[in-house]
Structure 1
Amino acid sequence: MKTIATAEITTDVPAAAFFERWADVATWPQWNTDTEWVRLDGPFRTGTTGRLKPKGGPATKFVITSLVAEREFTDVSLLLGARLTFQHLVTEDSRGRTVVAVQVTITGPLAFLWTAVLGKGIAAGLGGDLARLEAAARTAGVSA
């Protein structure tokens, strides 16, 4: 497994607001600038599959491999010869603030190729995407 990128924010926005944004996959392009569209084949829960279309790339299948409300959301994009994993962990710090950490990893025999193709873009955009997600979560209507 190779780590491509990590990002973290600490905020007063409640965890539930982040999960509301993640569950509404149609809004992902509003905060994830590399994404054209996202569709789920069922409810937002562990095991649900979907498709997403990165800007400038082909539509890709993905699966939600872990979903623990207000704690963790992990999705895996199924690339040819590789699996690209986005793990989102939500915790609370000692002052009661929400901490959202995102780690992007890749595995598989063609991971080296996908890292070369996607790695720099993901690494460059992850922090900004997380900041935009925080702004979207702040206005999502979930109160503390």
Structure 2
Amino acid sequence: MTHIASATATSTAAPEAFFTKWADMATWPEWNGDTEWVTLDGPFVQGATGTLKPKGGPKTSFVVAELTDRSFVDVSKLFGARLTFDHRIVTGEQTTVSVSISIDGPLAFFWTKILGGDLAKSVQADLDSLVTFAEAVRA
């Protein structure tokens, strides 16, 4: 598996606020600048499937590969590769949220060249924007 990028942010929002935003996939474009639209084929549960349309790219199917009270992992299917977004939450005095993006498969090198740079540039900004929206959930 090839690591593409990671980001971390702290927040005063409760972990549930992040899960509320992740579960409401239709609103992802509000905080994720790379996403045109997202649909989920049913409830936000482990094993759920959906489709997303990155800006400037083809629509892509994905699966919610892991969902716990502290993690959310979605895996997008690309031709010859799998793109994984691993979201983690750690609680303490504040909530720490992290996302790590990786890719695997026989064409991972190709997709890393095509997508890797843009994902690396946007991951921190998207996470910071998510924090802003999550903090507004409790308001």
Which residue of the partner structure matches residue 23 of structure 1? 23
Query: Any idea what SS the aligned residue of 1:65 has?
Result: strand
Which residue of the partner structure matches residue 96 of structure 2? 99
Identity of aligned residues (%): 52
Q: Distance in 1 between matches of 2:21 and 2:137?
A: 7
- Superposed, 1:1-144 pairs within 5 Å as 1-69=1-69, 71-93=70-92, 96-141=93-138
Q: How far is 1:55 from its partner? A: 0.5
The superposition leaves residues 91-115 of structure 1 with CA deviations (integer Å, 9 ceiling, x where unpaired) of 113xx21010110000000000000
> Structure 2 length normalisation: TM-score?
0.97
- Segments of structure 1 that go 5 or more residues without pairing to the other structure are none
Q: How far is 1:141 from its partner? A: 3.0
Q: How far is 1:48 from its partner? A: 0.3
> Structure 1 length normalisation: TM-score?
0.94
Aligned residues: 139
Q: Distance in 2 between matches of 1:140 and 1:114?
A: 35
- Segments of structure 2 that go 5 or more residues without pairing to the other structure are none
Moved over 3 A (4+): none
Q: How far is 1:65 from its partner? A: 0.3
